Structure 1
Amino acid sequence: MITRVRKYIRDNRMLKAEDMVVAGVSGGADSIAMLHILKSLQKEIGFSMEVVHVHHGIRGQEADRDEQFVEKICRDWGIPFRSRHYPVPELSGKWKLGEEETGRIVRKQAFQEEKKRLGFSGEQSKKNGQFRVALAHNRNDLAETMLHHLARGTGIRGLSGIQAVNGEIIRPVLCLERKEIVNYLKERGISYITDSSNLSDDYTRNRIRNHILPAMEQKINAKAVEHMAETARVLAEADSYLQKKGRELLAGCRKENGYLLDEKFFVQDSILQEYAVMEAFEILSGKRKDFTSLHVDQVLSLQKKENGRYINLPESLRVIRQYGGVCLKKNSASDRENAASTEKKVLAGLREMSVELPVPGILESPFGVFESKIFSYKKQKIEEKKYTKWFDYDKIKNSPCVRTRRQGDYLTVNSEGGRKKLNRIFIDEKIPAEMRDRLPVVAAGSEILWIPGGRMNEKYKITSTTGRVLELHYQGGALA
C-alpha cells in the first residue's frame, strides 16, 4: 500500500522536497493510516509535516477522547501536533447553517490559520516549498460523493467526485478503499477510533455509506467502488477538457468591462456555452461556489429576449440583453446601489401580486404565460413534461392563483400525505436564495399545486379514480 500511495503522490505531483504538509487527523482509520504512510515517506520525499486536529465541540467527552488519542499518536511518532477548538453548534445557529456545513467551514478556517502561523503567503513559502493540506478521503468517500451529487442533481464536475489535488489540498490515500485501510492498520497493530456520529443515519452521507454502497457491493458488483473511482477519473478528464474549450470560447468574447456573448458564441455547442458562462462567473466574481446551472440558464435565455432585459446575479454581477448580444459585467458601486433599489421595488410588487388563474383559459402576467385546459380522463398517457403538468381537478377545492412564495406555503410530497414547507423545498432543490422571491408558483390558498419547472403536489396527481384533468402549461421561465 505504501508503494501504491507513493506512486499516486508522484503521478499527481502532490509533494516535493521542502513542502510543508499540514495533515488533518481526526483519529479515525483513514486519517491515522494516511498519517502513518506519510510518515513512512517523509524522509524519502523530503517534506516537513505537522498535524492539526479540529475539535468541533459537539460530542462532549468523546470529542475530548479523540483529541487526546491523536495527540498521543503524534507524540509517539514524533510529529508536531496542534489542536484547534470551535463551538460548532453555537456557530451553526449564528450563521444559520447546518452543523455539517459549519464543520466544513471551521476546518477550512483551521488550516488557513495554520498556514498563516507557519509564515506562508499565497501559494509560495518563504523558501522553495509549498503549503499543503493533507486530507484522508478514500475511494469510498469518492463513491459516496458521486452518489450524493447524483441524487441531488449535478453535472460532470459533480460526478467526477473528489480530486486528488485541488489547489493546496492533497488526498494521498484517495487511491485506496476503506477496507484496505482498515486491513493495513490491523496488520501493523495500529489503533484508531470510531466517531459514533458516523454510525448514525441522521446525515444523508451516512445513509449512503451504511446502506446504499454496501448493497451495491453485495448485490450488484463487489468492485462497484473501484469502478466508480475509475469513472470519476474519466469524468474529471472530460471536465478539464470542456473547461479548457469553454475558456477558449470565452476569450473571444472579452470586452473592456466584461464579456459580450455575441452571435458567434450562440452557434457553438450548448455544453461549451455553459462552461464558458461559468468560467465568466468565476473570472468576474473571483469564485464559483455561489453559481449554479440555474444562473447559467438565466444568462443563456436572455439571448431570446428583447433588448434591455437584464438579471442581477450573486457577487454584484449583472447580465444585460443589448444590441449585439448578451453582456456580462460586474456592477460598479453606483450600479449596485441602483440595482438594489430597483430589485427591492420589484420584489415588493411581486409579493403583493396574486393573479387568479382562469380555468380554462390563458393568463398573461408578469410571472409568464399560463394556459389551462379541462378534459375528462380516459386513461390517456399522462404528460410528464417539465413545463406541462396534469392535476386531478376535482380534488382542488380553492381557486388556483399564480403568485410568489408566502409564509406558510407547503406541498404534499408523498402519497401518505406528508408535507414539506416551500422554503425547505427551495433549499433542497438548490434554488439560489436571490431567486426564491421571484419564482412563480401555482397555489390554492397556502397549498402549492406546482412550482413551474419543478415539483408538483403529490396530492393532486392523476389516479385511476380521476374524473377531470386540469392541464397547466407554463411559458416564460423565471422572471428577469
Structure 2
Amino acid sequence: MIERVKKYIRENHMLKAGDMVAAGVSGGADSIAMLHILKCIQHDMGFELEAVHIHHGIRGEEADRDESMVRKICEEWEIPFEVYHYPVPELAKEWKLGEEETGRIVRKQAFFRERERMGFPEQKTEDQPQFLVALAHNRNDLAETMLHHLARGTGLRGLAGIRPCGDGIIRPVLCLERREIVNYLKEKGISYITDSTNLSDEYTRNRIRHHVLPAMEKEINPRAVEHMAETARMLAAADHYLLEKGSRLLSGCERKDGYLFEGEFFREDQIIQEYAVLEAFGKLAGKRKDFTALHVEQVLSVSEKGIGRYIRLPQNLYAVRQYEGVHLGKTVPRKAPESTESLVKREKYPAEDFWEIPVPGSLECPFGIFEAKIFSYKKQKIEEKKCTKWFDYDKIKNSPCVRTRRQGDFLVVNREGGRKKLNRIFIDEKIPASLRDKIPVVAAGSEILWIPGGRMNEQYKITSTTGRVLELHYQGGVLA
C-alpha cells in the first residue's frame, strides 16, 4: 500500500524533493494512516514533513483527547507537531455562519499561519521548494462527494469530485479505500480515534456514507467505489480538456473592461461557450463559487435580447447586450435596476406556474436559484441576511414552492397570528403595479412564507421550541 501511494504521488506530480509537507492530522483513521505512510516514504522522496492539528473548541474533552493523542503519536514517530486553537462556536456567531463553514475557514487560516511561520512566501516558482498541505481524503470521500454533487445538481467538475492535487493541496491517499486504510492500521497496530460526529446521520454526507454507498456496494457492485473513482478520473480529464478549449476561446474576447462575446464566439460549440463564460466569471470575480449553470445560460441568452438589455450577476458583474455582442464585466449600465426590480425578471409568468423547492436540495427556475438545507436547531445565531432566511421547518405543512402571486395569498405579520393580504403588502411597500405579477414568492399553499429579499412570515420564525430549521438561500439573475 505504501508503494501504491508513492506511485500515486509521482503520477500526479504532487511533490518534489525539498518541499515542506504539512499534514493535516485530526486523529482519525485516514489522517493517521496518511501521516504514517508519508513518514515511511519521506526519506526516499526527500521532502520535509510536519503534522498540523486544529482544535475547533467544539467537542470539549473529546477534542482535548484528540489533540493529546496526535501529539503523542508525533512524539513517538519523531514528527514535528503544531496545534492551532480556534473557538469555532463563538466565531460562527460573530461571523453569522454555520459551524461547519466556520470550521473550513479556520482550517485555511491555520495552514496559512503555518506557512508564514515556516517562512514560505505565498508565491514561488515551481522549481523552488513549496509549502504543501496534505489532506487525508480517500476514494470513499470522493464517491460520497460525487453522489452529493449529483443529487444537488452539478456539471463535469462537480462529478469529478475531489482532485489529487492543486492550489498547494495534495491528497496522497486518495487512491485508497477506507477499508484498506483501516486494515492497514490494524496490521501495523496503530491506534486512531473515531470522531463522534461522524457517527451521526444529521449531516447529508454522513447519510450517504452510512446508507447510500453501503447499499450500492451490497446490492449493485462491491467495487462501486473503485469504479466511481475511475469515472471521476475520466471526468476530470474531460473537464480539463473543455476548460482549455474554453480558455482559448475566451482569450480572443478579452477587453480592457471585461470580455466581449461576438460573432465568432457564438459559432463555437455550446459546451465550449459555457466553459468560456465560467472561466470569465472566475477571472472577473476572483472565484467561481457563486456562479452556476443558470448564470451561464442567462449570459448567453442576452445575445438574443435587444440592444441595451442586461442582467445583473453575483459579485457585481453585469452582462450587457451591445451592438457588437454581449459585454461581460463590472461596468454598471447607466440605468441600473431599482432595488425592487433587482428581484424580478421582466417576463411575466402565469399565476398557475410554480416550481417546487426540493428539501433539502437546490432549485433552478426562471427567477434564480433557491437552495434549501435542513439542520437541527441548537441555539445557533439566526442568519440576518436579505437573501437567506431560517424557518421553523416542523411548522410548515405543505411543500414550499416558488411562484408569482395568486388571489388569496397572505402572510402572518405578527406573533398574534394577524394576517395581511400579499397585495396589501405590495401596496404598503410601494411596489409598482406593473411589477407585482413578476415578483417571486416562496409559498406553501395560499400562505406566503417569504418574499425573497423582503418580508417573511412571522408564524415560521425560529423560537426556543424550534426543532428543525429550514434554511432558504436565494440567488437571482435579473433581466432588465
TM-score, normalised relative to structure 1: 0.75
The 8 Å contact of residues 411 and 449 in structure 1, kept in 2 or not, is answered as no
SS of the aligned residue for 2:349 comes to strand
- The CA deviation at 1:308 is 0.9
Deviations 1:141-200 (A, max 9, x none): 000000111111110000000000112000000000000000000001001010000000
Q: Does 1:114 align with 2:105?
A: no
Rounded Cα–Cα distance in structure 1 between residues aligned with 2:86 and 2:251: 43
What corresponds to 1:309 in structure 2? Answer: 309
The 8 Å contact of residues 19 and 131 in structure 2, kept in 1 or not, is answered as yes
Q: Aligned-pair RMSD on alpha carbons?
A: 3.2
TM-score, normalised relative to structure 2: 0.75
Q: How many residues align?
A: 391
What are the equivalent positions in structure 2 for 1:265-344 lying under 5 Å apart?
A: 265-331=265-331, 342-343=336-337
What is the percentage of aligned positions where both structures have the same residue? 60
What are the equivalent positions in structure 2 for 1:349-428 lying under 5 Å apart?
A: 367-371=346-350, 417-418=397-398
What are the equivalent positions in structure 2 for 1:51-450 lying under 5 Å apart?
A: 51-124=51-124, 128-331=128-331, 342-343=336-337, 346-348=338-340, 367-371=346-350, 417-418=397-398, 440-441=440-441, 446-447=447-448
Deviations 1:59-80 (A, max 9, x none): 0100000000000000111011
Rounded Cα–Cα distance in structure 1 between residues aligned with 2:284 and 2:342: 29
- The CA deviation at 1:108 is 1.1
Rounded Cα–Cα distance in structure 1 between residues aligned with 2:352 and 2:193: 62
- The CA deviation at 1:301 is 1.4
The 8 Å contact of residues 309 and 479 in structure 2, kept in 1 or not, is answered as no
Rounded Cα–Cα distance in structure 2 between residues aligned with 1:237 and 1:297: 24
Deviations 1:357-413 (A, max 9, x none): xxxxxxxx9641334689xxxxxxxxxx978xxxxxxxxxxxxxxxxx999998999
Partner letter of residue 447 of structure 2?
S
Partner letter of residue 303 of structure 2?
Q
- Call closer, same or farther: CA 1:265–1:73 in 2, change over 3 Å: same
In structure 1, stretches of 5+ residues that fail to align are: 352-364, 375-384, 388-404, 423-437, 452-476
Which 4+ stretches in 1 moved above 4 angstroms?
A: 371-374, 405-414, 418-422, 442-445, 448-451
- Call closer, same or farther: CA 1:96–1:419 in 2, change over 3 Å: farther
What are the equivalent positions in structure 2 for 1:7-18 lying under 5 Å apart?
A: 7-18=7-18
Rounded Cα–Cα distance in structure 2 between residues aligned with 1:105 and 1:278: 24
What corresponds to 2:423 in structure 1? Answer: none
Rounded Cα–Cα distance in structure 1 between residues aligned with 2:274 and 2:159: 17
Rounded Cα–Cα distance in structure 2 between residues aligned with 1:231 and 1:178: 18
What corresponds to 2:462 in structure 1? Answer: none
- Call closer, same or farther: CA 1:245–1:136 in 2, change over 3 Å: same
- The CA deviation at 1:233 is 0.2
Partner letter of residue 259 of structure 1?
Y
- Call closer, same or farther: CA 1:450–1:116 in 2, change over 3 Å: closer
The 8 Å contact of residues 119 and 126 in structure 1, kept in 2 or not, is answered as no
Structure with higher RCO (Cα < 8 A, 6+ apart): 2
Rounded Cα–Cα distance in structure 1 between residues aligned with 2:62 and 2:166: 31
Partner letter of residue 241 of structure 2?
Y
The 8 Å contact of residues 320 and 326 in structure 1, kept in 2 or not, is answered as yes
- The CA deviation at 1:95 is 2.0
SS of the aligned residue for 2:54 comes to strand
Rounded Cα–Cα distance in structure 2 between residues aligned with 1:167 and 1:446: 47
Partner letter of residue 53 of structure 2?
H
Partner letter of residue 369 of structure 1?
K
- The CA deviation at 1:213 is 0.6
